């Protein structure tokens, strides 16, 4: 029997605002000591009132727009009631039937070049809860309220994904998009982007939705992929044996790479949602919405397509250069400053500048090597003023000093030596110093030409016109 996987993802996205959603505590308390980033509001003390952080609405609006969702002029907060130690109020302030945005979708490129359209079923604002930890030494449970009130967007997709790879692709693209529009750092290891996966199977060709299980506690894209593969495998074996799939909640255990049954799933009715009486409705006026979306950026997939169509870049280059918005901005500025073929800039950027970025751990904005300086270096190489090797060394020198490429070339005398006489003198010296190699070359070991060229370049500090040096060597060795 051939089965098809039906997967939907529920993500919790931590917004990168300065403060929490309803109080002035810092939003991000990664690595802070437990219970050091809390106040009476986020710990639900009696008599306090929440005040909505407007930046949460703004970032939520940006994300909804990026998801092509229908932004609602009026939305409400609701109380989602449940009893759990890490929820001091006994309810979570969330949105239910009247949320910030309705509908929407995200297109995800597949390995075969087609796009998978993933629909968005839910997109709303809410606060995070705290964290309970089992203390192994004392055997007690401990609660850290630092995360209470951290602003989240909950986003739920339709059951549109068909494999573990598609689910991983969606998350990779979502992470890219969140960083691109600047609403979240989207670091899964820090809990900025959390994902639960709903998985069910059906016979190929069917359109029904069978009972699904929910996988929780997966905190990397690779873990999501592996956990879904294992769950698909478990369910298909169960169907083969004629067993029923029950609506379990499964927990991913990273250490043992296995899924464990957590508890039977609550239904929505258990939460007894009702309007939050302590907060006003959110009025997203036309003016406010226009102000938020004023500088809405070109999104990664659109830019990727434009890089291919407009600059004639191969897909590989376009993909890599649009991995991050700052990098793609850097590329475009360098292309404009260069004025020539964009592929040349792409080559320099992908081979050398990316390595510099990776080695230094810096972002493009922190590089002293500006896009204009990169363009200058490429132009100096193209004009034959310096050779390619000198150009590559120049990248580092410009970046270390902040001086212009021309200035460094002038000050250090890096201009390429093409003068026959000067190169010939060095070639003679090299041949005189290596009689053994010369004899070997003449005896048929012509591969030694590389050795001789290297020696000449070394003596001339890499400044010689390499082709000319090689030609002179061959001539004199004959
Ligand atoms: Zn607080």
Tokens coding 437: 């190699």
pLDDT score recorded for residue 420: 78
Cα–Cα distance for residue pair 281/355, rounded to 1 Å? 49
- Whether 407 shows a pLDDT value over 60: the answer reads yes
Cα–Cα distances (Å) from 427 to 150, 355, 440, in that order, read 69, 34, 17
pLDDT of residue 213: 95
pLDDT classification of 79: cutoffs 50, 70, 90: very high
pLDDT confidence of residue 112: 85
Instruction: Note the pLDDT of residue 265.
Output: 54
pLDDT in tens, 246-297: 999 999 998 999 999 986 655 656 899 999 999 999 999 999 999 999 999 9
Q: How far apart are the first and last CA of the chain?
A: 73
Element (H, E) at 388: helix 388-401
* Other C-beta atoms lying within 10 Å of the C-beta of residue 85: 11
**Could you tell me the pLDDT band of residue 135, with boundaries at 50, 70 and 90?**
confident
Domain locations in the chain?
A: 3-291, 300-412, 420-477
235 pLDDT band (50/70/90 cuts)? very high
User: Is 198 within 8 Å of 144 (Cβ atoms)?
Assistant: no
Give the whole-number percent of the chain exceeding pLDDT 70. Answer: 99
Q: Region 84-93: what's the mean pLDDT?
A: 94
In tens, the pLDDT along 152-189 reads 999 999 999 999 999 999 999 999 999 999 999 999 98
Distance 50 CA to ligand 1 centre (A): 9
Q: List the CATH code of the domain at 420-477.
A: 1.10.10
The DSSP-derived string for 105-131 is EEEEE-TTS-EEEEEEEEEEEEE---E
pTM for this prediction:
0.86
Best CA proximity match to 229, nearest among 257, 193, 264: 257
pLDDT at position 31 is 87
Lowest mean pLDDT among 122-136, 291-305, 417-431: 417-431
pLDDT at 87 exceeding the cut of 60:
yes
CA 217 – ligand 1 centroid, Å: 25
Whole-number Å distance, alpha carbon 127 to ligand 1 midpoint, is 11
Which pLDDT does position 136 carry in this prediction?
82
**Residue 46: CB atoms within 10 Å:** 5
**What are φ and ψ of residue 253, in 5° steps?**
-105, 110
Q: What percent of the chain has pLDDT over 90?
A: 72
If you measure from the C-alpha of residue 134 to the centroid of ligand 1, how many angstroms do you get, rounded to a whole number?
A: 24
CA dihedral 54, 60, 61, 66 (to 10 degrees): 160
> For residue 456, what pLDDT is reported?
86
pLDDT attached to residue 460:
82
Within 10 angstroms of residue 310's Cβ, the number of other Cβ atoms is 13
**Per-residue model confidence (pLDDT) at position 113:** 82
- Could you report the per-residue pLDDT of 423-460, keeping only the tens digit for each? 888 888 889 998 999 999 998 898 899 899 888 888 88
Q: How far is the CA of 291 from the centre of ligand 1 (A)?
A: 28
Opening angle at CA 66, ends 64 and 67, nearest 5: 65
Neighbouring residues of 458: CB distance < 8 A, sequence distance ≥ 6: none
Q: Which of 182, 169, 140 is nearest to 7 (CA)?
A: 169
User: What number is the average pLDDT over the span 123-140?
Assistant: 91
Neighbours of ion ligand 1 (CB under 5 A): 23, 25, 39, 41-42
Q: Are 270 and 84 in contact (CB under 8 A)?
A: no
Say how many Å lie between the CA of residue 13 and the centre of ligand 1. Answer: 19
Which has the closest alpha carbon to 216: 171, 159, 260? 260
Arithmetic mean of pLDDT over the chain: 93
pLDDT on residue 264: 62
For 361-381, the pLDDT digits (tens) are 888 888 999 999 999 999 999
Q: 200-204, 233-237, 264-268, 347-351 — which is least confidently predicted?
A: 264-268
Residues with Cβ < 8 Å from 397, sequence gap 6 or more?
Answer: 403, 408, 412
Query: Does the structure show a pLDDT above 80 at 212?
Result: yes
Ligand 1 centroid to residue 29 C-alpha, Å: 11
CA of 216 from ligand 1 middle (Å) equals 27
Measured in Å, residue 149 CA sits from the centre of ligand 1 at: 7
247 or 1, which is more confident: 247
Tokens of 399: 């970046």
Q: What's the confidence (pLDDT) of residue 266? A: 54
Q: Which of 203-217, 296-310, 403-417 shows the lowest mean pLDDT across its residues? A: 403-417
pLDDT reading at 64 higher than 60: yes
| Phi, psi angle pair for 156, to nearest 5° | -120, 130
């Amino acid at each position: 029997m051939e089965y098809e996987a039906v997967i939907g993802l529920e993500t919790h996205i931590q917004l990168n605002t300065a403060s929490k959603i309803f109080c002035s505590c810092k939003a991000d308390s990664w690595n802070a000591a437990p219970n050091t980033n809390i106040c009476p509001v986020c710990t639900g003390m009696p008599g306090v009132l929440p005040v909505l952080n407007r930046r949460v609405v703004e970032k939520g609006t940006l994300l909804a727009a990026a998801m092509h969702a229908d932004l609602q002029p009026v939305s409400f907060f609701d109380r989602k009631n449940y009893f759990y130690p890490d929820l001091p109020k006994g309810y979570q302030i969330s949105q239910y039937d009247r949320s910030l945005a309705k509908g929407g979708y995200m297109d995800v490129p597949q390995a075969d070049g087609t796009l998978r359209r993933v629909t968005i079923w839910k997109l709303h604002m809410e606060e995070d809860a705290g964290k309970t930890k089992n203390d192994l030494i004392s055997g007690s449970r401990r609660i850290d309220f630092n995360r209470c009130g951290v602003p989240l967007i909950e986003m739920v997709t339709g059951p549109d994904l068909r494999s573990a790879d598609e689910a991983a692709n969606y998350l990779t693209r979502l992470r890219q998009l969140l960083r691109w529009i600047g609403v979240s750092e989207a670091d899964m290891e820090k809990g900025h982007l959390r994902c639960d996966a709903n998985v069910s199977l059906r016979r190929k060709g069917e359109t029904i939705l069978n009972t699904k299980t929910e996988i929780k506690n997966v905190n990397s894209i690779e873990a999501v992929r592996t956990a879904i593969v294992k769950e698909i495998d478990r369910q298909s074996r169960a169907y083969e044996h004629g067993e029923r799939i029950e609506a379990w909640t499964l927990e991913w255990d990273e250490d043992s790479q296995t899924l464990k049954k957590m508890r039977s799933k609550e239904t929505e009715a258990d939460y007894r949602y009702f309007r939050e009486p302590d907060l006003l409705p959110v009025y997203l006026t036309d003016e406010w919405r226009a102000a938020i979306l004023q500088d809405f950026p070109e999104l990664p997939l659109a830019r990727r397509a434009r890089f291919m169509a407009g600059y004639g870049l191969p897909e590989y280059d376009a993909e890599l250069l649009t991995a991050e918005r700052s990098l793609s901005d850097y590329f475009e500025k360098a292309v404009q400053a260069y004025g020539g073929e964009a592929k040349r800039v792409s080559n320099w950027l992908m081979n050398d500048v990316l390595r510099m970025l990776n080695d230094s751990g810096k972002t493009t904005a922190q590089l002293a090597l500006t896009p204009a300086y990169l363009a200058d270096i490429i132009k100096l190489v193209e004009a034959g003023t310096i050779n390619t090797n000198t150009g590559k060394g120049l990248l580092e020198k410009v970046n270390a000093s902040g001086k212009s490429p021309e200035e460094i070339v002038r000050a250090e005398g890096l201009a390429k030596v093409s003068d026959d006489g000067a190169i010939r003198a060095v070639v003679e010296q090299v041949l005189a110093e290596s009689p053994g190699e010369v004899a070997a070359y003449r005896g048929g070991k012509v591969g030694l030409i590389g050795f001789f060229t290297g020696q000449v370049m070394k003596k001339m500090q890499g400044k010689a016109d390499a082709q000319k040096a090689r030609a002179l060597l061959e001539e004199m060795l004959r």
